[in-house]
Amino acid sequence: MRLPGGRLDAVAFAALADAAVELGDGGLELTSRGNVQVRGLAAGAERELSGRLHAVGLLPSVTHERVRNIVASPLSGRDGRGLVDVRPLVGELDAALCADAALAELPGRVLFALDDGRGDVIALRPDIGLYAVASDLFALVVGGIDSGLRVSGGEGVAAMLGVAREFLRVRGGRWRVAELDDPVGLVAGVRGESVELPAVAVRPPLGLVPQADGRVALSGLVPLGRLDSAQLTGLRGVAELIVTPWRTVVVPDLTDVPHSLAGSYGLVAAPDSTWAGLTACAGRPGCAKSLTDVRADAAAARAPGGGLAVHWTGCDRGCGRPAGRHVAVVATPGGYEVRLGDEVRARPEDLTATAAAVATTRRSE
Ligand code: SF4
């Protein structure tokens, strides 16, 4: 399910949590685009699921569901950072995208981003994005680079969709804007000087984040990106939940500060936790292609140490891998391979050796 801006209100969250427990495998998977998945549906259950989602506004357009890939600065308008509140632009972009029949043909990989200037989601190198450079001035970003065109908030959505239409016209067989020889050529209008965009995302800090209005937001890591049934129960009743592209969630606008993150919602708030920087694809039994239960192995092979992010997958396809340089632990018919970029760093014999190879590789840069 696409969640533009990662946002779920209380009603939509309750419907999803119920669906995960009653129709799926009991958990909710978070994706690297700030979306969610319900897995383990019985045959035919998708009709019941889509009916439930539609009833709470989570499926506003059957034709455009694939293309509603919109990420936005998760703490925008709340913590006093950022140059502008991009939340209104999320709804505006989503509605305008769904209202244009032709844009249903965009490839499902095209990512839209709305960054309030703090440099979080723009570092995901979106296909089409707005990056605030002043309180009402945005850089129009195409293929992960600043096009040089500047637009106001009122012009931003039209400018983004103009780029999307032009990409549709010229894309041929390409899936992403960055695959074009000249992505900036998609932009109409007078372009000025470009700025360098942040290469590494300024992620929301973990823990309690003071808001400008005196309330607090709670930001926590979701181990291996899966909210289990106990967490879904614990989070029920929060007014809003924001799913970020980094497998964390934010519970904003709290007045009663929970004593313990773990006790309240089962979230991890310590940046040095062994769960930090660790992700995995669904693996077995959730994915038929998986060679093994990668989640169980990733959890068992956790080690402190920091360094590069680590992503475990049950086959070579690499679903859910994080943006940027990271250590990949890939299940092969001969066991795990530990890779860095295109290079295979180790083919360990067992899980203990895999854990050691991962620890060494993630600290090697
Ligand atoms: S990487 Fe392979 S095993 Fe993992 S979810 Fe994708 S297809 Fe399945």
**Could you report the per-residue pLDDT of 296-323, keeping only the tens digit for each?**
999 999 987 678 999 999 999 998 888 7
Flag whether 22 is in a domain. Answer: no
Task: Determine contact, residues 198/119, Cβ cutoff 8 Å.
Answer: yes
Strand partners, 28: 227
Task: Determine contact, residues 270/206, Cβ cutoff 8 Å.
Answer: yes
Verify that 233 and 255 share a domain, yes or no. yes
Question: Does 281 contact ligand 1 (Cβ within 6 A)?
Answer: yes
Strand-pair category, 326-332 with 309-313: parallel
Task: Determine contact, residues 23/48, Cβ cutoff 8 Å.
Answer: yes
Atom of ligand 1 nearest to the CA of 291: 3
Residue located nearest, by CA, to atom 2 of ligand 1: 315
Residue 131 Cα to ligand 1 middle (Å): 32
Question: Does 225 contact ligand 1 (Cβ within 6 A)?
Answer: no
Verify that 342 and 292 share a domain, yes or no. yes
Flag whether 50 is in a domain. Answer: no
Verify that 247 and 300 share a domain, yes or no. no
Residue 281 Cα to ligand 1 middle (Å): 6
Query: What's the confidence (pLDDT) of residue 348?
Result: 95
Verify that 257 and 147 share a domain, yes or no. no
Going by C-alpha positions, the residue among 238, 221, 286, 250 that lies closest to residue 37 is: 286
Flag whether 216 is in a domain. Answer: yes
Flag whether 343 is in a domain. Answer: yes
Q: What are phi and psi of 219, to 5 degrees?
A: -120, 125
Q: In residues, how long is the chain?
A: 365
Going by C-alpha positions, the residue among 362, 325, 323 that lies closest to residue 346 is: 362
Alpha helices in the chain (DSSP H): 10-22, 45-55, 87-99, 153-170, 229-235, 261-265, 294-300, 351-362
Does the CA dihedral 346-350-356-358 come out positive or negative? positive
Per the structure block, which two tokens stand in for 14? 């309750």
Mutate to test the pocket of ligand 1, among 25, 289, 295 (most ligand atoms within 8 A of CB): 289
Flag whether 290 is in a domain. Answer: yes
Q: Can you tell me the mean pLDDT for 8-31?
A: 94
pLDDT in tens, 312-364: 999 999 988 887 789 999 999 999 999 999 899 999 999 999 999 999 999 88
Going by C-alpha positions, the residue among 287, 286, 285, 300 that lies closest to residue 336 is: 300
Side-chain-side CA neighbours of 335 within 13 Å: the count stands at: 11
Verify that 86 and 116 share a domain, yes or no. yes
Verify that 216 and 194 share a domain, yes or no. no
Flag whether 86 is in a domain. Answer: yes
Residue 322 Cα to ligand 1 middle (Å): 14
- Domain count across the chain: 3
Verify that 194 and 80 share a domain, yes or no. yes
Residue 318 Cα to ligand 1 middle (Å): 6
Side-chain-side CA neighbours of 295 within 13 Å: the count stands at: 13
Q: What percent of the chain has pLDDT over 70?
A: 98
Question: Does 319 contact ligand 1 (Cβ within 6 A)?
Answer: yes
Query: What's the confidence (pLDDT) of residue 365?
Result: 81
Domain range for 159: 76-198
Flag whether 297 is in a domain. Answer: yes
Q: What is the mean pLDDT of the chain?
A: 93
Verify that 178 and 218 share a domain, yes or no. no
Higher local confidence (pLDDT), 234 or 127: 127
Flag whether 270 is in a domain. Answer: no
State which of 168, 198, 228 marks the end of a domain. 198
Where in 255-304 does DSSP place strands (E)?
278-280
Region of residue 123 (phi > 0: left; psi between -120 and 50: alpha; otherwise: beta): alpha
Verify that 97 and 194 share a domain, yes or no. yes
Q: Can you tell me the mean pLDDT for 215-238?
A: 91
Verify that 211 and 191 share a domain, yes or no. no
State which of 160, 181, 198 marks the end of a domain. 198
Residue 305 Cα to ligand 1 middle (Å): 26
Residue 291 Cα to ligand 1 middle (Å): 9
State which of 198, 218, 238 marks the end of a domain. 198
Q: Can you tell me the mean pLDDT for 26-37?
A: 92
Question: Does 290 contact ligand 1 (Cβ within 6 A)?
Answer: yes
Going by C-alpha positions, the residue among 237, 232, 296, 196 that lies closest to residue 36 is: 232
Verify that 129 and 223 share a domain, yes or no. no
Verify that 121 and 91 share a domain, yes or no. yes
